Amino acid sequence: MGIIKKSRQEENDELSELNRRRGIYAFGRYIRMSADKARRVIDQIRGRSYEEALMILEFMPYRACYPIFKLIYSAAANARHNKGSNKTELMIRKVEVNKGTTIKKLKPRAKGRSYLIKRPTCHITIVLQDTFFMEEFRKNIHTFSKEDIQQVWAAVNSSTLRKFDDLLLRLLIKGELKLY
């Protein structure tokens, strides 16, 4: 029995497909704050546009806003550099805050004792989505049949936006949707 090897081209095609499905993302690892405090801020920006999220973060009075602001800015820079996206067309698709390791330090106390100080950390993942296809669909909505429009809006209103992306790609491949 031999091992079936994939060619480099097949591996690159699979990786590019995974990257396209994954979206535009940025990771923040070992950020020194509690995950609950970060979630309080994250809940305010989930599902909003890039510019709106930056404005909200700029005026919120919490310490957790600055690292999240930097992560969103970094994800937008990744979108512009890697995929050529326009920053005004980006939307926050997914935001996760996970608990990280706890940093433990010892503080000296009286009579030679020590006191344990625990500093929690968290991991933040931000995924952005380019809304260019949605805007093009809205501009050309009058050219579709009622069944197609209902199918697309059902996909948009579903729990995940991935269904909408898959539907748009299917329509583009079949030639039923044109972006001009």
| Predicted local confidence at residue 143, as pLDDT | 72
Q: What is the pLDDT of residue 120?
A: 95
Query: Number of structural domains, the chain?
Result: 2
Average pLDDT over residues 72-99: 88
Q: What percent of the chain has pLDDT over 70?
A: 66
Please count the CA atoms within 13 angstroms of the CA of 90 that sit on its side-chain side. Answer: 28
Are 57 and 113 members of one domain?
yes
Say if residue 105's pLDDT is above 80: yes
87/159 same-domain check: no
- Higher model confidence: residue 159 or residue 104? 104
- 145 in the same domain as 121: no
pLDDT at position 2: 43
Same domain, 73 and 136: no
In a domain, 69, yes or no: yes
161, pLDDT greater than 80: no
- Tell me which residue range forms the domain holding 168: 132-180
Mean pLDDT of 6-18: 57
The neighbour count for residue 136, using CB atoms within 10 Å, is 16
User: Does residue 56 contact residue 44 with C-beta atoms inside 8 Å?
Assistant: yes
What number is the average pLDDT over the span 70-89?
88
* 95 domain residue, yes or no: yes
126, 140: one domain: no
Q: Is the pLDDT of residue 156 over 70?
A: no
The answer to whether residue 165 scores a pLDDT higher than 80 is no
Residues 122-139 have a mean pLDDT of 79
Say which residues have a Cβ less than 8 Å from residue 101's Cβ, sequence separation at least 6: 30, 121
Q: Are 107 and 139 contained in the same domain?
A: no
The reported pTM is: 0.66
- The DSSP-derived string for 51-116 is HHHHHHHHH---TTHHHHHHHHHHHHHHIIIII---GGGEEEEEEEEEEEEEEEEEEE-GGG-EEE
